[in-house]
Structure 1
């Protein structure tokens, strides 16, 4: 059974209410065509204009390039000014990259807004490289676990789980041990304003279409605040993090996938 189908069959939900993994991180799911609430969920008010253009299908500006001379700017508490078109400066990009690479684990809570506007909450645990657990609050029976190689979506009520290689999901970008935002080929643009440093990533998936991943970091602290996945049909799923504790190592047992469930 495919993952998208398995999630659509979560009992007690219409197809438009089917539970998506955080940020639709596994496969695209389109709300029901006959639902009046099938429009994309509202996005944060600080979404940069350049990102709106790129996500709408227009040309995405390239990441601001480093100056040919001089040493990279040291990490600072506040962002250096953006370029006239809103692109982040190289020193800002380097600062955010350095901070996110320094975060090797985190725990906290999340709020997810599905394409139909439904809100869900839960706990998140992350340990780089590649390990994460999203555990939804009741009454949802679903949890998503990555052990560094595979991603499992479990339904405790149905006692089922679906497995997908981590390498085939956008999760791998968020869970990479080290990433260079200035040179990562999937980064199409980085913008900044007074609230967010916004990193736009795009990936073409054969036979499916283009995923867009918008990652928002705090402009002052560089902390990861939110991400928005736009699926190939243009539907947005938004995840916002809160109550974060950084570099507090979670229990390794949280990231264990019981593959024997698939044999039962």
Structure 2
């Protein structure tokens, strides 16, 4: 599987499903099927609330990342994140890859200045994790939450089974809302392809502009002109 196909399936965390599908599923679920009622104890229920609130408030972030693929190959780079729906991952040399979500499309550019491959953002995981709605609105996709001494892991999986595979998000967490910090995500797709992205130097940056989520590409010629 080509690298950009793996990224499309896994780079932005969660599951491969559309925003509309998630909304419909949530509407059909009753209160008894929410993640809070499935979490086993009071400590984990508190962690679920703290983590959901943290993700809902996460915005205008920047930092560096380490990506590890199925074969153990490592790549590094820089990222920008701006809610709703904007992300940019620039890979360090020798790779030239750029992955940009502009709110409507997910663009994968393998060489700077060349035409990028584009995919509808609604067909990627991004609207769940980085959209306008709250993670708590998609509670049925939270299959499990484990809390440790200084960390927590959230497992996400499609409850209907239409999108095989799973995602595991790891957080720094010491029992209080102010200790939550997203550290990494690990995604396994239906074919067993796995990818891990570890976030480093995560910091809030107020001056991120929407123009930062545009790629340098060849301009399209007007129809009928050469």
TM category, shorter = 0.7 to 0.9
Partner Cα distance (1:262, 1:139) in 2: 28
Deviation at 1:246, TM superposition (A): 1.9
Give SS of 1:21's match: helix
Cα offset, 1:23, TM superposition? 7.0
Find out whether 1:128 has 2:83 as its counterpart: yes
CA distance in 2, matches of 1:222, 1:65: 22
Matched, 1:161 2:133: no
Maintained 8 Å contact 1:100/1:222 = no
Q: Which residue in the other structure is 1:117 paired with? A: 72
Q: 1:157 & 1:183 partners in 2: Cα distance?
A: 36
The answer to whether the 8 A contact 1:152-1:163 is kept is yes
- 2 CA distance for matches of 1:233 and 1:66? 28
User: Where do 1:195-206 residues align within 5 Å?
Assistant: 195-203=150-158
Q: Look up the SS of the partner of 1:89 in the other structure.
A: helix
Look up the match of 1:25. Answer: 11
Aligned length: 196
Cα 1:170–1:217, aligned 2, differ >3 Å: closer, same or farther? same
Shift of 1:263: 6.8
What's the counterpart of residue 186 of structure 2? 228
Selected match of 1:172 from 124, 127, 140: 127
TM-score scaled by length of structure 2: 0.74
Q: Say if 1:254 and 1:188 are closer, same or farther in 2 by CA, change over 3 A.
A: same
Partner of 1:248, secondary structure, is coil
Contact 1:104–1:177, Cα closer than 8 Å, also in 2: no
The 1:231–1:149 alpha-carbon spacing in structure 2 relative to 1, beyond 3 Å, is same
The SS at the match of 1:160 is coil
RMSD of aligned Cα (Å):
3.1
Q: Deviations over 1:178-236 (max 9, x none)?
A: 42347522222222112322121123686xx5131111121132111100110112222
Q: What's 1:253 paired with? A: 211
Residue 99 of structure 2: SS of its match in structure 1? strand
Q: Which has the higher helix share?
A: 2
Asked if 2 retains the 8 angstrom alpha-carbon contact of 1:62 and 1:188, the reply is no
**Partners of 1:23 and 1:238 in 2: how far apart?**
12
Tell me if structure 2 keeps the 8 A contact 1:99–1:222.
yes
Q: Unaligned 5+ residue runs, structure 2?
A: 13-32
Q: What is the TM-score of this pair, normalised by structure 1?
A: 0.64
Q: Which residue is 2:164 aligned to?
A: 210
CA distance in 2, matches of 1:198, 1:262: 45
Shift in Å at residue 92 of structure 1?
1.5
Aligned partner of 1:46 in structure 2 is none
Q: Could you list the runs of 4 or more consecutive aligned residues of structure 1 that deviate by over 4 angstroms after TM superposition?
A: 257-264
CA–CA separation in structure 2 for the residues paired with 1:130 and 1:236: 23
